[in-house]
Structure 1
Amino acid sequence: MFIRDLNGNEYFLQGVINHEQELNGDERIDIEIEYTDINSEFLIKQDDLKMWIILFEGKEYRIISSKQTGFGDKYRISVTAVLYMLDWLNSHRVYERIDASLTVTEAFNIVFNDTPFTYSTVNPSPSNRFEGIGEGETRLEIFKTFIDRYGYEFKIVGNVVYLYNQIGNDANFEYRYKVNTQDIEKEVDASEMWTYARGYGNYSDDDSDTDVVDKAKLKREYTSPLEKIIGERREAPPIRDGRITHKETMDANLEKLVDESVQISFTADIYDMSQQGYDYQHAVIGDRVF
């Protein structure tokens, strides 16, 4: 592991590291840096490490916060660093307003043109209509909007973002309690569970005095089979989007709104058993496992 100062000088770095990564979300590392002989090479010159770059597992992370505490007759610095690409996109903005129907290439060119980064579209996706993109939004905010609307999951390798319909693999290995995992927890949140939703589309915003229900040319409904099991209807907030003109698109949005309203999550402590002769590697982000 290395650390790079603001002048481009690199040093060996020793520290205890915690790496956090979310699917289509943030990626950060937290490191405890003690005043060792190796770390003193740069700490003796500068103890405020903010904006320095940490090189870890082939990626660059920018230090955005640090805390210095006494440790014996020396001191320890706790730093938080975020993936450099995400930090860069979050600190550069698009100021003009964009109202247009955009292909995938046109959309992500808005994010990555005139940046140190690029992207590769692994799986295609149809065009989408956008209103009010930009207007001072960060490139990262716009990037996340496009990821959501085009239904992509992304993987970052070096300075390239790869766009997939789904990352990871359908792995054929298992996680078993007290074998390679423990503390398994399942949580179900039905506080905003819906069984029914309505959608209104294909209308113009010019006529602001007319109710959407009246002016929408596209009106669709979706009812979940779970409604019969629960025994009563739970109505979701309606989808009101004049940009949606095809019933297939509206139906897909309604079904997603209802079917994903029950949040089911699993957490567990997972162990890499490869050193004990286990035949498979541990799962990486995006993998589907048993």
Structure 2
Amino acid sequence: MITFTDVENNEYQAQCEIEKTDAVNGEKSLSGTIYFGQDVKSNIAKGWTLSFLGEDYVVVTYTKNDKENTVAFSAVQAFFYKMSKTGFYETWNGSHPFATYLDALFAGTGYTYDNTATVAAFEKQDWGMSDRLSLFNDIIDQASVEFSVEGTVIHVVPAMGSDLSTIVRKKFNLDTAEIQTDNTSFATYGRGYGAYSNPDDTTSSRLEVEYKSPLYDYYYPKFGAIEAVPVADERYTIADNLLAAVQEKVDKSWAISLTLNLVDLQSVGYKYAMANPGDYITVIDESLNFSDKVRIIKVTSDYDIRGTRTKTEVECGSLSFAEQQKTSQSTLSNVAAGKIPVPNEWLTSQVQLATNSLLAARTELKFTDQGIIAIDKSDSNKVVILNSAGVGVSTDGGQTFKSAITADGVVADRLFGNLISGITYETTDEASGYKIRLKGGSMELLKGSKLVSGINQFNIGTDFNNLDGNALRLAQTDGNGTSVGVITIPRTSRQSNPLVQITGKVDSSLNFTGTRYITAENTLWVTAADMVSLGSFNPSNGKTTEYFRVTSSETDVWGNFNVYNGSKNAVQVTRDGLRATPAYELAENYVGDIGEGKTGEDKTVRVDIDPLVFDLINTDKPYQVFLTAYSDAHFWVSERGKDYFIVSSDTPNSSFGWELKGKRRGFEDQRLVDTKDTYNDLEKMEGLIPNGNQNVQSNS
């Protein structure tokens, strides 16, 4: 159970699925879905917080889904929220010690810091007049340090994490791995400009260096020098330091990131600590030909509604292009030279892309102990390998084979032909785990190995089955791929309590032949756990107006309530059964009140109109008072005031009863209002006038 707290510090409990993110430099955030906890789902609002794994988070967004009866939310750790909402209303210039900046930012915030990093004083220009979190991140970046949040203490350190001896290896405690590359900033050449020879003269000569990466000569014939943005910083006075900065910028210009899904061995009793952001671990994945030490920059963990961690995804920091070259190109060279066998993963891994470029190829053949390797002379990325294990086609220099035929089967992204026939066809989305299987005249939809739904053929027809605990949605999709649900079987539907949600318009003539429990012909029950509402949608303002509401205790109507060819009755229990008591009908819209009174010694009495009744009637219009004598006297209304009337009698101390009728406020001028319905309209309403208009009578 997760504890939520509202603005008044009232606590509520809810069950949620949570995704928790921890990253280098303290980032901590949650995203989740609330499934159980009606108080939270109904009342969650701005200023709510929650506690998760001993830390406080502030809810920043929430989305209520009335179809699924869930609430999706996102939250950030309290430090980041509070600091981002606290301003620093000063402007600083010049050089200050690192601790001076920290003291100013944390003053009065309720947070303290612990700094173990050695940072020289540095200069800032127009620093301030912003939120404290932005300014804190600015000086952290300036000082090239990192931080973590622990309660109300911020730990500032030279670098987070530890150099662990942990080894993460495929088929041991590594589930899946993915390498992503980004060459949008790729460069092979860079320049750096440091201090001026005369610091007071910007036209004087500057310290200048240039750097060419090991790949410079390889790409130069086609692209020339691929230049990085220059490093221009007057603080560099030593050429070697400036050159190191330029080299780092160029070598890391092609970003490589590694994403891993780790199996948490703690759950089975293995003494293994999950790595934290900032830690260095060794990753070995033979299928990707990757073996190197990498740094964890973000850890994302999923928790189910019981609080059990179900998945941990680790994102490692960017590797330099030189490191990528080292780990990706050596294997193909060794295979081509016959030094190592072809990895089995090349022939059995499923791949994302497929190419077919056999025609017009100029090919170099190499005969090795592992088979025949064909390499395109004009493009060495195009490789075909043939041996007793099968045939593989690669377009990335042999790192992966995007089409392959082995004893295990055929791997390809696209198959072209007029007919594919067989017993079973199966396709799987690796990211989500969803699978479609065509088998024996039926279609099965699975999540992993678990059956979710399916279409089955029977002698009597076709069944579309949805298993308990899963949602099934019939949606309408536009040309851009955006879908809107029309008919949904929600996850909460069960065979014992089947549910369906219809969010689209029903355009049909419906004929109801009874329900599961009511067998009478043409009987329809509309039920809900708490309330049934009817209304209309106004497309001009996008709002829905409620007109009719039924709950367990009452029925409410907004607007006029018209009864055709019938009466408005209150049904009450009598000694002779239930009897209907019709409502009193008037030609105009009146509100009434009844009471008793007694005149005094002066033979008069003032009767004040009930303030609530006064709010309902307009006494600026004439109202009527009817008197009934309860004594041997004569009575009359001697005065009608705005909020009172005076009754007089011909003898003192005389009792009477009174009835007041006044025109309803807002409806003063209505009299026998025309409904605009015609006789033809009534004839279309089956059964209203079966023998003609019996309500019309003659004065003759």
TM range (shorter): 0.7 to 0.9
1:32 matched residue in structure 2: 33
Hey, what's the Cα distance between the residues in 2 that align with 1:248 and 1:59?
Answer: 45
Residue type of the alignment partner of 2:164: A
| 1:224 counterpart (213, 225, 230) | 213
What is the distance in 2 between the residues matched to 1:253 and 1:111? 30
Secondary structure, counterpart of 2:270 in structure 1: coil
Report the Cα distance in structure 1 between the residues aligned to 2:97 and 2:52, rounded to whole angstroms: 35
- In 1, the alpha carbon distance for the partners of 2:235 and 2:130 equals 21
2:232 corresponds to 1:265: no
Q: Deviations over 1:163-207 (max 9, x none)?
A: 11211111212222233222211122222122333233446xx99
Match of 1:287 in 2: 279
**Distance between the aligned counterparts of 1:100 and 1:247, measured in 2?**
26
Matched with 2:122 is: 128
Cα distance in structure 2, aligned partners of 1:56 and 1:67: 20
Q: Which TM-score applies when normalising by structure 2? A: 0.37
- The equivalent residue for 2:149 is 156
Match of 2:534 in 1: none
CA contact (8 A) 2:193 2:209 kept: yes
* 234, 248, 256: which one aligns with 1:256: 248
Q: TM-score, normalised by structure 1?
A: 0.83
Q: Give the 3 Å change call, closer, same or farther, for CA 142–18 of structure 1 in structure 2.
A: same
Residue 148 of structure 1 deviates from its aligned partner by 1.3
Deviations 1:42-75 (A, max 9, x none): 438x613332111111211100111112257xx3
Letter in 2 for 1:283: A
Structure 1: distance between partners of 2:205 and 2:23 = 38
Equivalents in 2 of 1:277, 1:229: separation in Å? 51
After superposition, the Cα gap between the structure-2 partners of 1:81 and 1:56, relative to the gap in structure 1 and judged at 3 Å, is same
C-alpha distance in structure 1 between counterparts of 2:263 and 2:110, whole Å:
36
Residue 248 to residue 137, structure 1, CA distance change in 2 (3 Å): farther
CA contact (8 A) 2:13 2:40 kept: no
Structure with greater helix share of residues: 1
Of structures 1 and 2, the larger Rg is shown by 2
| The structure with more strand, counted as a fraction of residues | 2
Q: CA deviation at 1:87?
A: 1.1
Q: Which moved more, 1:187-196 or 1:244-253?
A: 244-253
Aligned AA (1:30): S
Q: 1:16-31 counterparts in 2 under 5 A?
A: 16-24=17-25, 26-31=27-32
Q: 2:85 — aligned with what?
A: 91
Q: What is residue 112 of structure 1 aligned with on the other side? A: 106
What is the CA–CA distance in structure 1 between the aligned matches of 2:189 and 2:209, rounded to whole Å? 11
Instruction: Summarize the Cα distance change of 1:162–1:25 in structure 2 as closer, same or farther, 3 Å threshold.
Output: closer
Higher mean C-alpha displacement, 164-173 vs 228-237: 228-237
- Tell me which moved more, 258-267 or 189-198: 189-198
**Contact map agreement 1:129 1:243 (CA 8 A) in 2:** no
Check whether the contact 1:62–1:84 (CA below 8 A) recurs between aligned residues. yes
**What secondary structure sits across from 1:173 in the alignment?**
strand
Deviates more, 1:142-151 or 1:272-281: 272-281
Pair 1:43 & 2:43 matched: no
Counterpart code for 2:96: L
DSSP-derived class of the 2:164 partner: coil
- Aligned-pair Cα RMSD in Å: 2.8
Checking the alignment, whether the CA contact within 8 Å between 1:271 and 1:282 is kept in structure 2 is no
**Which of 172, 190, 200 in structure 1 is aligned with 2:193?**
200
* Partner SS for 1:281: coil
Name the CA distance, whole Å, in 1 between partners of 2:175 and 2:96: 46
Q: In the superposition, relative to structure 1, how do residues 2 and 181 fare at CA in structure 2: closer, same or farther (>3 Å)?
A: same
Aligned residues: 277
Q: 1:161 to 1:252 in 2, by over 3 A?
A: farther
Moved more, 234-243 or 77-86: 234-243
Partner of 1:123, secondary structure, is coil
Q: Which moved more, 1:236-245 or 1:256-265?
A: 236-245
Give secondary structure in 2 for the equivalent of 1:187.
Answer: strand
CA distance, structure 1, for counterparts of residue 43 and residue 71 of structure 2: 8
| 1:234-281 Cα shifts (integer Å, max 9, x gaps) | 221123334555656544433332232221100121120123243312
CA distance in structure 2 between the aligned counterparts of 1:99 and 1:178, rounded to whole angstroms: 56
Aligned counterpart for 2:50 among listed residues 27, 36, 54:
54
User: Are 2:166 and 1:169 aligned?
Assistant: no
Q: CA deviation at 1:16?
A: 1.2
Secondary structure, counterpart of 2:271 in structure 1? coil
**1:74-85 superposed matches below 5 A:** 75-85=69-79
